Amino acid sequence: MREELRDCLLNLIEGLKRWEENPNEVPAILRKGHKKLVKLLLHEGKKAPVDLPALIALLQLPVSKWGLPFEGVYPLEAPVLVPNLGVSHHALEFLAIHESAEEAQAKEVWAIVQYCRGAEPPLEEKYRRVRTFLIRNPVVSAMKLMSFRTELQDVELSKLLGVCYEEITEDLDRYRICPRCGWTLEYRRDGWRCGADDLCGSLVSRKELEKWEPTGNLLRLKPGVYRYTMLPGLAELEVEEALTTKGYKVTLFPQVDRYDLAIHLGSHTVYLDMKDFSHPLTLANYFNRMQVYELEKYREDHIYVVIPQYRNKVYPGFARLVSNALLPHARYLRVINEKEIQAILEGGTNE
Ligand SMILES: [Zn+2]
């Protein structure tokens, strides 16, 4: 049943996403998801949505109201669609962890990781520079991007970096500068929002918003790169800065992104992997779906999965909720809140 529910949701969400991109045609995969949903509901003896409007109405309800056992599959209180906003951020995240490879990375960044790892020797330093550039330059002038790409002195890497960005020169009127992260705010429903989730809006209050001046060509990170690389990257850089200020020796993205941060202590090194998910269950499922060998990297001593502080504000006890939802093969993972990092470094223990 779980697998069927998951498949059905994946079809529906993928279909809705494609439909948003091309509203003239109802995608076949959405119809497929609809059929699966009807079958599941009828099987449970529940009323099923007969047509598209009925389906849309159902998708706007929290999944707990659908009449199907979604426990452990999808956040019960979350809908798939939000009126006037489109596919919910929970749904996008659900799709992302199921379709993209390992790291729940945007595919553009995943290509960079693979390229840098595959080089002989691996491009450790160049990877770090590219990754940091992406985090610090959510919107960039064509000039600045070009000069950085040239500096890399690597044609392939330069090309892969270019793919992370898209032109916005012609659309500047649509956008405002996000005061928190610097990416593009867009007006949707009743206000300016940064991405589907508007995490920035919930963290920083907005007053006067500024526009970009139309001087030369301007590019922004593609939405996937913004969501899965840049936003979590801000938290990673903040932790790095805070620890460096305290006198720790820190390396970002060690071993071409095997972890996010390495903190070199006298006796050993502590590795942190920051995971920026909006719901504890989604993060737990991300790990639960991994094969034993894919989780191997978390098995060694001194390795921690870290939840950014702002996620903990929304879901107090986020780390504990994740731990509780892990399946037996993933239960050894050490999931902690950002605030606990200091204690771990001082304690010098591996628990
Ligand atoms: Zn933002």
Domains assigned to the chain:
2-99 (no CATH), 107-223 (no CATH), 228-347 (3.40.1350)
Report d(CA 123, CA 269) in Å as an integer: 21
The Å distance, Cα 77 to ligand 1 centre, comes to 25
The Å distance, Cα 134 to ligand 1 centre, comes to 14
Please state the pTM of the whole predicted model. 0.80
The Å distance, Cα 81 to ligand 1 centre, comes to 22
Each residue of 194-228: b (16+ CB within 10 Å) or e? Answer: bbbbbbbbeeeeeeeeeebeeeeebbbbbebbbbb
If pLDDT is split at 50, 70 and 90, which confidence band does 116 have? very high
Report d(CA 70, CA 8) in Å as an integer: 11
The Å distance, Cα 182 to ligand 1 centre, comes to 6
pLDDT of residue 343 exceeding 90, the answer is: yes
Report d(CA 20, CA 25) in Å as an integer: 10
Both tokens of 249, joined, read: 């020796």
The Å distance, Cα 185 to ligand 1 centre, comes to 7
Q: What is the pLDDT of residue 206?
A: 86
- In sequence order, what are the beta bridge partners of 188? 191
Q: What is the pLDDT of residue 100?
A: 58
pLDDT of residue 167 exceeding 80, the answer is: yes
CA atoms within 13 A on the CB side of 126: 25
Average pLDDT for 240-247: 96
Average pLDDT for 318-342: 95
Average pLDDT for 9-34: 92
Q: What is the pLDDT of residue 112?
A: 95
Report d(CA 161, CA 8) in Å as an integer: 34
In percent, the amount of the chain with pLDDT more than 90 equals 70
pLDDT, averaged across the chain: 91
Task: List the 165-167 sheet strands across, edge first.
Answer: 139-141, 218-221, 165-167
- In sequence order, what are the beta bridge partners of 180? none
Report d(CA 212, CA 161) in Å as an integer: 22
Q: What is the pLDDT of residue 1?
A: 82
If pLDDT is split at 50, 70 and 90, which confidence band does 236 have? very high
pLDDT of residue 350 exceeding 50, the answer is: no
In percent, the amount of the chain with pLDDT more than 70 equals 97
Output the 3-class SS for the chain: CHHHHHHHHHHHHHHHHHHHHCCCCCCHHHHHHHHHHHHHHHHCCCCCCCCHHHHHHHHCCCHHHCCCCCCCCCCCCCCCEECCCEECHHHHHHHHHHHCCCCCCCHHHHHHHHHHHHCCCCCHHHHHHHHHHHHHCCEEEHHHHHHHHHHCCCHHHHHHHHCCEEECHHHHHHEEECCCCCCEEEEECCEEECCCCCHHHHHCCCCCCCCCCCCCCEEEECHHHHHHHHHHHHHHHHHHHHHHHCCCEEEECHHHHCCCEEEECCCCEEEEEECCCCCHHHHHHHHHCCCHHHHHHHCCCCEEEEECHHHHHHCCCHHHHHHHCCCHHHCCCCEEEHHHHHHHHHHCCCC
pLDDT of residue 161 exceeding 90, the answer is: yes
The Å distance, Cα 26 to ligand 1 centre, comes to 31
Task: List the 191-193 sheet strands across, edge first.
Answer: 175-177, 184-188, 191-193
Report d(CA 261, CA 252) in Å as an integer: 5
Tell me: the pLDDT tens digits for 41-60?
A: 999 999 999 999 999 999 99
Tell me: the pLDDT tens digits for 123-151?
A: 999 999 999 999 999 999 999 999 999 99
Q: What phi and psi, each to the nearest 5 degrees, are found at residue 140?
A: -145, 150
Closest CA to 80 of 68, 67, 95: 95
Q: What is the pLDDT of residue 104?
A: 59
- In sequence order, what are the beta bridge partners of 271? 262, 303
Furthest C-alpha separation in the chain: 65
Tell me: the pLDDT tens digits for 257-295?
A: 999 999 999 889 999 999 998 899 999 989 998 888 888
Q: What is the pLDDT of residue 48?
A: 93
The Å distance, Cα 105 to ligand 1 centre, comes to 18
Burial class of residue 101, CB neighbours in 10 A (0-12, 13-18, 19+) = exposed
Tell me: the pLDDT tens digits for 60-109?
A: 999 999 999 998 889 999 999 998 888 998 898 888 777 754 455 788 99
The Å distance, Cα 178 to ligand 1 centre, comes to 5
The Å distance, Cα 56 to ligand 1 centre, comes to 29
Closest CA to 330 of 294, 293, 287: 287
Both tokens of 315, joined, read: 């879901």
The Å distance, Cα 125 to ligand 1 centre, comes to 27
